[in-house]
Amino acid sequence: MKNMFAISLYLALTMAACPPTLNNGLIGIKDFGDNPGNLNGYYYVPEELPAGAPLVVVLHGCSQDAAEMARLSGWNELAADHGFVVLYPQQKRTNNLNKCYNWFVPEDISKGSGEARSIQQMMLHLVKELSLDSSRVYVTGISAGGAMAAVMLATYPEDFRAGAVMSGIPYAAASDLSTGLKAMRGEVTLSAEEWEARVRH
């Protein structure tokens, strides 16, 4: 009986130490930093990965998760065809009931803090652990993920070669939920110079 308990305990501890793997080949990231934004993260590595491969960061929309984003977007198939790694940060419902990234919360979009910092930590962790090319890191996202992609490009421009925002919101278009809703309705209009000033802050 004691042996069975010891074996069960060993297996439980071993499994807890291993990053979880989803049935679509996504691998969970563990111990990537202090994670100030309290996000989860998953990544996909194709079977044949060339040395010094690129990394693409893909950010999901509201009510989605990493697995759904991978399935709907086709990024894993592109990664397998072209030899790069895909990182899928994932929002938690405890941070946002609709599982949206908090692109309208100043603490989550500022350099060195919140969700943006957590995403950067995941990215830097994978570049180091998988020996990826730090000069070929890209970011994209849709909807709330598109807004967070804009956040990443504005906050950590030195970390990205390029990015693509799909159906997103400009960086710093809002400072709380109320102004976030206005931005989503197209009620926040600024000149190009004013948007630039917000990015350069």
**Which residues belong to the active site?**
143
- 89 has which bridge partners? 41
| Cα–Cα distance, 111 to 152 (Å, whole number) | 9
Place of tokens 């010891």: 6
Tell how strand 55-59 and strand 137-142 pair up: parallel
CA-angle at 96, arms to 151 and 109, nearest 5°: 20
- 86 has which bridge partners? 44, 56
CA 170 to centroid of chain Cα atoms: 17
